[in-house]
Amino acid sequence: MAVQLADATLHIFAICAAILTFKLLFMVTLIGVLRRIRGAYISPEDYRFRGRRPGAPDELVERVRRAHQNDVENIPLFLAVGLVFALTGGYPTIAWWVFVVFTASRLLHTVFYLAALQPWRSVIFAVGSVALGVMPALLIWRTIR
C-alpha cells in the first residue's frame, strides 16, 4: 500500500477522503449527542424508552441533520469518482485542486449551514459541485480523445 500512496494524486486523495470520512463520523455523532442532550429523538420508541412524550422537532438537531444529509448525498460521489480519477493518473495538478477545493467546500458548507449563512452556503455548495463535476468531465475527455 505504501508504494501506491507514493503517487501524489492518490496521496492527496487519501488525505481528503480521510478528512471527509471523519467529517461524516463527526456529524452523525453530533446528531446523536444533540438528540440525547436536547431530548429530541427520531422514533416513538426512543421517547417511550425514556418515559417521554414526542415533542416538536428541535431546530438545531434538524439543522445539523440536514447538513449531514447533504454530506451523505455528496461525499460518496466524491469518494467514488475521486478514487477512479486518482487511480487513472494524469492531471495531477488539477486532481490536487479539485480534491482540496471539494474537501474545503464541504467543511465550509457545514459551517455556513449551521450558522444559517445564505447566500454563502449556496455559493460554497456550487464551488464544491464544480470541483466534483470536473473529475467525471476529465475522465470522459481522457477516454474519448
| pLDDT tens profile 74-131 | 999 999 999 999 998 878 999 999 999 999 999 999 999 999 999 999 999 999 999 9
Radius of gyration of the chain (CA): 19
| pLDDT class of 73 with cuts at 50, 70, 90 | very high
Q: Percent of the chain scored above 90 by pLDDT?
A: 77
Are the beta carbons of 106 and 67 closer than 8 angstroms?
no
Are the beta carbons of 16 and 102 closer than 8 angstroms?
yes
Q: What average pLDDT does the chain have? A: 93
The count of other CB atoms within 10 Å of the CB of residue 30 is: 16
Angle between helices 92-114 and 120-144 (to 10 degrees): 160
Give the pLDDT score at 91.
Answer: 85
Q: What does the pLDDT average to over 17-32?
A: 98
Give the pLDDT score at 6.
Answer: 66
Cα-flanking dihedrals φ and ψ of residue 7, to 5°? -70, 125
Name the residue among 66, 64, 74 with its Cα closest to residue 126.
74
Q: What does the pLDDT average to over 24-40?
A: 96
Cα-flanking dihedrals φ and ψ of residue 89, to 5°? 70, 180
Q: Which fold has domain 4-144?
A: Four Helix Bundle (Hemerythrin (Met), subunit A) (1.20.120)
- Please check the confidence at residue 143 and state whether its pLDDT lies above 90: no
The total number of residues shown for the chain amounts to 145
Alpha carbon distance 50, 31 (integer Å) = 18
Q: How many helices (H) and strands (E) does the chain have?
A: 5, 0
Alpha carbon distance 6, 102 (integer Å) = 22
Q: Which amino acid is at 113?
A: Y
DSSP SS3 for 91: coil
Domains of the chain by residue range:
4-144
